[in-house]
Structure 1
Amino acid sequence: MFSSPFRNVASLYRRTDRRFRASLLLTVFCVLLTPLPQSSAQDNSEFPLKNGRVVVGPDFAMAEELKDLGNPKGKLFEFMMPLADSEIFDGTDSTLDRRKPVRKERKIVVYVPAAYEDGTAAPFLVMHDGPSRLNLVRNALDNMTISKDPHRKLPAFVAIAVQNGGDDSKGSQRGLEYDTMSDRLARFIQLEVLPAVENHPTIRKAYPNFELTDDPWGRAVMGCSSGGAAALTMGWFRPEWFRRLITYSGTFVDQQDDDAPEEAEYPLGAWEYHSSMKLIENSEKKPLRIFTHVAENDNRANDPESTYHNWVMANERTADALEAKGYDYRYVFSKASRHCDRRVFEATLADTLAWMWHGYEPADD
């Protein structure tokens, strides 16, 4: 019934006195109860950028990793996408205020880092309001994809900066794209922007086997203000597509068009993430990794709750909701700073990217 080694142990046990038997049993139990050593790759306790709440400022300095340190550069590509060609955002939505200008075409800027190997399925970061902070992200890629510090090393992700459709707030094309509580923007990026990037002839000429990953854990979204709210909304409504989300000065306030059909379900727009509806807390937990930020002097910081437009209150409550629900989240509060403050990006974006991509492993093909 037992293999030879087990028979030998049983025979030894029978032939020994009572005290030795007790000692032998104690030794066996100690061995069984001792935990197996964990490999350093699996040990997250040493990762210095912890989840939870972080306060920065009032003094800010640009992180070295966001400067041009002379490391090998990748390739930059630009092209235009006419709005009229889109089946999702063609610039003629019935909710638009005709007094607010709509772009005829939007610019797409793509940065492929030097560390990218043609033929691999690249992770990527979609950046709203492109080109936005692309210069900082480019430097981070140049410097941190070759970092010797495993806690600072970034995967060779492709940065895709997408210009908004024009203007701002309710009644604007930008507001329609970013402040609407639906999967519409996620579908636009997934079904129209990403194929345009993958199949662009100039990119294909430089990288004949260029490919973007289908792994949702390899797909990140970043934005500030309404672009930040849009980042969360993309992952919220389509976590099967986008799971790593970065929001600075997120517009988790009521800026959805008053005549939008989504008003029926979400009457206060992105305010509903943390409102009495408690959308985050009352919904099934989603597979998302979420970074949020707000500035001490962010938009309408002294407004009462009844305005549904206090950015500081909105982001504080969003962080509370993420924590209560047990999300993998990091929340930065920046002192002596303002809405989408460039100094905050310069001081924190390297840490944010390192935290956001922590634990990423390319999916098996």
Structure 2
Amino acid sequence: MRKTAPWLLVTLLATAAAPPEAPQTVDIAPPYHDAPEMAARPATPRGTLHSFIMLSSESRIYPGIRQLDSDATRRRDSWGNRIAAPADQQSAPAPWRREVFVYVPATYRPGSAAPLLVVQDGRDYAARVAAALDTLIAAHRVPAMIAVMIQSGGGDAQGSQRGLEYDTMSGRYAEFVEHEVLPRAAALYGLRFTSDPDGRAAMGGSSGAAAALSMAWYHPEWYHKVLSYSGTFVNQASPVDPATPRGAWEYHASLIPGSPAKPIRIWMEVGEQDLHWQDPEQSWHNWPLANDRMAAALAAKHYDMHYVRAAGAGHVDPNVVAQTLPGALEWLWRDYPR
């Protein structure tokens, strides 16, 4: 009978039984530098980056959004936040056209069920995610996962298609991804995605991060991992839902404290000078404060959470992303498969 090397046995046992880490907050400071994993290496196998187009006319879930007219987009409250216009100041639904990027690792075997990373605002992250995954997968630091990186339907904040998709407090966006985006990607490129929620992660920056958390919060049967940069955990949702009157601010104000802990692992970051960083709490629109509150609420419920506060950094600071993305991905996937 062949014996297992002692060091290998210890490694296998540690991987199989790795407990959740205690919630952790880490402060980082400039100068920020690209992580070495972000640089292409000649000997590293490179995955393939595909793209395709989706139209609103093809969607049952998001057939179009009522766009605000020019006067309505100038309406703001006393804190300077945009206010959604009444229905009589809105135009007819507008069509959207979105691009979806699909990263397939070099080692993917067609038809096999692969781990999945879904990224919001896909165009902003496609190249960086692909570069990080090439290096991490080749070094066996993360599993050979497929990344589906989805551009929003357009616009920003209240009254826009992006705002409707990302800032709405519901599982609707996750359902759009599950039932309309992933099947299209699978059919086009001969892919299969794991159904194991431990093998699925959602990622985004700003409102895309709020969307990533909503994907896991409202559909934990699909996603157990979240990666958030400058999460818009503030009062941004439109139209207002009486169940969550302050939009994603309710995550840390009421939903997380008032609910049993969900099987979500979350890595999150905020910049010291992120959006509205000097605004008072009553604005419900201070990004650093909202993320600090998120970290505290998650820690109180003993979530598997890693929180990074970046000194001197702004909103979804690209230098911070380039420094932290490989480590964030590795932390999220550190014990997969269990």
Structure 1 length as normaliser, TM-score?
0.80
Could you tell me how far 1:50 is from its partner in structure 2?
Answer: 7.3
AA in 1 matched with 2:251: Y
Verify: 1:135 aligned to 2:127, yes or no: yes
Within the candidate set 55, 65, 72, 2:45 is matched to 72
Within the candidate set 271, 284, 297, 2:249 is matched to 271
Tell me which residue corresponds to 2:277. 301
CA RMSD, 1 decimal: 2.0
Deviation string, structure 1 residues 60-114 (Cα, Å, up to 9, x no partner): 1111111111212111211111112111111145xx4255795531101101011
**Paired residues, what number?**
306
Within the candidate set 63, 70, 91, 2:35 is matched to 63
Q: Percent identity?
A: 42
Tell me which residue corresponds to 1:356. 332
Provide the rounded CA distance (Å) in 2 between the counterparts of 1:53 and 1:188.
33
Of the structure 1 ranges 313-322 and 50-59, higher mean CA displacement relative to structure 2 is found in 50-59
Unaligned runs of 5+ in 1: 1-37, 205-209
SS in 2 for 1:333: strand
Tell me which residue corresponds to 1:126. 118
Within the candidate set 22, 26, 40, 2:11 is matched to 40
AA in 1 matched with 2:51: E
Provide the rounded CA distance (Å) in 2 between the counterparts of 1:211 and 1:57.
40
Within the candidate set 311, 314, 328, 2:290 is matched to 314
SS in 2 for 1:90: coil
Verify: 1:158 aligned to 2:146, yes or no: yes
SS in 2 for 1:353: helix
Verify: 1:234 aligned to 2:207, yes or no: no
Could you tell me how far 1:115 is from its partner in structure 2?
Answer: 2.1
CA contact (8 A) 2:49 2:130 kept: no
AA in 2 matched with 1:39: V
CA contact (8 A) 1:181 1:269 kept: yes
Deviation string, structure 1 residues 27-73 (Cα, Å, up to 9, x no partner): xxxxxxxxxxx8323337999x9751111112111111111112121
CA contact (8 A) 1:102 1:172 kept: no
Tell me which residue corresponds to 1:82. 55
Task: Tell me which stretches of 4 or more aligned residues in structure 1 moved more than 6 Å.
Answer: 44-47
AA in 2 matched with 1:320: A
AA in 1 matched with 2:104: V
Tell me which residue corresponds to 1:220. 201
Within 5 Å, which residues of 2 pair with 1:285-296?
Answer: 285-296=261-272
CA contact (8 A) 2:23 2:302 kept: no
Q: Which structure's relative contact order is higher, taking Cα pairs within 8 Å and 6+ residues apart?
A: 2
Tell me which residue corresponds to 2:26. 54
Pair 103,155 (structure 1): closer, same or farther in 2 beyond 3 Å: farther
Provide the rounded CA distance (Å) in 1 between the counterparts of 2:211 and 2:133.
23
Unaligned runs of 5+ in 2: 1-8, 74-92
Query: Which is greater in Rg?
Result: 1
Structure 2 length as normaliser, TM-score?
0.86
CA contact (8 A) 2:22 2:302 kept: no
CA contact (8 A) 1:67 1:136 kept: no
Tell me which residue corresponds to 1:104. 96
